[in-house]
Amino acid sequence: MSRRIVGALAGLLAAALAAAALLVGLEWHGEPPLPADARAPAADAAQIARGAYLARAGHCAGCHTARGGAAYAGGRGLATPFGTVYASNLTPDEATGLGRWSAAEFRRALRHGRSRDGRLLYPAFPYANYTLVADADADAILAYLRSLPPVAQPNRGHALRFPYGTQAALAVWRALNFRAARFELDPARPADWNRGAYLVQGLGHCSACHAARDALGASDEGLGGGLIPVQNWYAPALDDPREAGVADWPLEDIVALLRTGRAPQATTLGPMAEVVLGSTRHLSEADLRAIAVYLKSLPPAAPRAVAATARSTPRGVALYEKHCAACHGEQGEGAAGAYPALAGHRAVMLEPAANLVRVVLEGGFAPATEGHPRPYGMPPFATELDDRDVAAVLDHVRSSWGNAGSAVSPLDVLRWRGSR
């Protein structure tokens, strides 16, 4: 082998080592060393109760409880475009859960996205939001989790495609997309606005769904809406009155939607219904109002032009009359207090129309809450309507009674069927 080739290989190796060192430096930059505390400090009943409340605010059980499994024992598979990530065991089992974690290690997991052994965690765990969680709140959550019955359930290895399952790939992603931060109070804003901002941006991790993502799964910092990966539900923009913006809503109606899943202007379905059921309905009146204050203050999004291309066809009219008109009305007028009007409803014109496809196929069910214990539901039509039928009836709905949405094709229906 010539000296020139040896020199070139040595140069490549040196460059690779330098790049690796840079990534390591970027990954550890800003992380304080862990203190030597071996265990979390003893907690009293008040701290445990506060931790239970905060865990609900963060909807931790939603991911860390498998269907039919023990609460917080992990094992639920979270499908991503890169493979499946399995949620970890958060019970205080010594061998498989958090039994040996210190308070500092738990804070680091929330704020820096690292496991107890320093391993990088995957951003399916929303540490990009949890980095804003205050240390006292992290300690309270850990106190609550350590009060749960321990469940001996080993954590399941993730099933990610190469190279996404490697720590090196994750280090690159983090170097590009993640910086640890602290929540900073805005002195120009009132206390309830700051509390709402803390809950929405941090523990509530609303941007994990309500923000657009790039090809590598990194979300932007806004709440401008986005397609939830793999689930194929669209989380509408919270800053756009044509989608899910609430700037012109009374505070009481926003609070009602978060507490009961229903308000005069809207009803929650799909993933948001799960959030209401498992999280927001448990929040205090003060926190719900703080969230409402913050959401009302979001600067309005710039108008987005969408071509109205949906066209009603005889097939769509016939399907609507057969399956939909009995509840939603011949003219899409609905029935007050029972079935929503489709005429002029902003959910009907969302772009993309993924949510309409999912509701037609899977049914639409609001959460059963104390304030809305017996919600009306829409039956699923997956066994009665094929892709062409769904596209035809949605084109009819999106182009009738003053509605002006884009067309839905059978290919769109196939793409948005998705999985849960």
DSSP for 401-419, please give it: TT-------HHHHHHH---
Say if residue 173 is in the same domain as residue 195: no
Is residue 371 very low, low, confident or very high in pLDDT (cuts 50, 70, 90)?
Answer: confident
Give this prediction's pTM.
0.90
> Which pLDDT does position 419 carry in this prediction?
52
Q: Is residue 305 part of a domain?
A: no
Domain-located, residue 68: yes
Residue type, 49: A
The mean per-residue pLDDT over the stretch 183-209 comes to 97
Give me 190's structure tokens.
Answer: 């009132």
Q: Name which residue leads in pLDDT, 161 or 2.
A: 161
Q: What's the whole-number mean pLDDT along residues 76-86?
A: 93
Q: What is the pLDDT of residue 2?
A: 61
| 308, part of any domain | no
Query: 220 or 141: which carries more pLDDT confidence?
Result: 141
Domain-embedded: residue 22: no
CA gap 208, 201 in Å, rounded: 9
27 within a domain of the structure (yes/no):
no
Identify whether residues 88 and 166 lie together within a single domain: yes
Which residue range is the domain that position 366 belongs to? 314-416
Q: How confident is the model at residue 311 (pLDDT cuts 50, 70, 90)?
A: very high
Domain CATH number, residue 330: 1.10.760.10
Nearest to 291 by CA among 256, 241, 240: 256
Q: What is the pLDDT of residues 120-152, one digit of tens each?
A: 999 999 999 999 999 999 999 999 999 999 999
Q: How far is residue 384 from each of residues 277, 331, 354, 360, 369, measured CA to CA in Å?
A: 29, 23, 19, 10, 30
Please give the tally of structural domains in the chain. 3
| Residue 17 within a domain | no
Same domain, 115 and 63: yes
169 lies in the same domain as 203: no
Stretch 344-355: mean pLDDT: 94
Domain edge (last residue) among 177, 203, 232? 177
Q: How confident is the model at residue 219 (pLDDT cuts 50, 70, 90)?
A: confident
Q: 126 and 198: one domain?
A: no
DSSP state of 87: P
195 and 233, same domain (yes or no): yes
Mean pLDDT over all residues of the chain? 90
- Identify the CATH number of the domain in which residue 204 sits: 1.10.760
Per-residue pLDDT, 106: 96
Q: Picking from 69-73, 126-130, 363-367, which range would have the lowest pLDDT averaged per residue?
A: 363-367
The token pair at 124 is 């399916």
Query: Is the same domain home to 156 and 53?
Result: yes
Residue 283 has pLDDT above 80, yes or no: yes
Whether 327 and 281 map to the same domain: the answer is: no
Q: In the predicted model, is pLDDT for residue 179 greater than 90?
A: yes
Tokens of 156: 């399941």
Query: Above 50 in pLDDT, residue 255?
Result: yes
Q: Rounded mean pLDDT of 254-260?
A: 97
Considering the domain architecture, whether residues 273 and 338 belong to the same structural domain is answered as: no
Task: Give the model's confidence band at 312: pLDDT under 50 very low, under 70 low, under 90 confident, else very high.
Answer: very high
Residue 245: strand pairing partners? none
Q: Which of 261, 296, 331 is the last residue of a domain?
A: 296
Residue 17 pLDDT > 90: no
The answer to whether 73 and 94 are in contact (CB under 8 A) is no
According to the model, what pLDDT value does residue 420 have? 45
Q: Select, from the ranges 170-174, 195-199, 209-213, 260-264, the one with the highest average predicted confidence (pLDDT).
A: 195-199
Q: Are residues 58 and 160 in the same domain?
A: yes
Residue 242 carries which DSSP code? T
pLDDT digits (tens, 9 = 90+) for 38-68: 565 678 999 999 999 999 999 999 999 999 9
Co-location of 72 and 122 in the same domain: yes
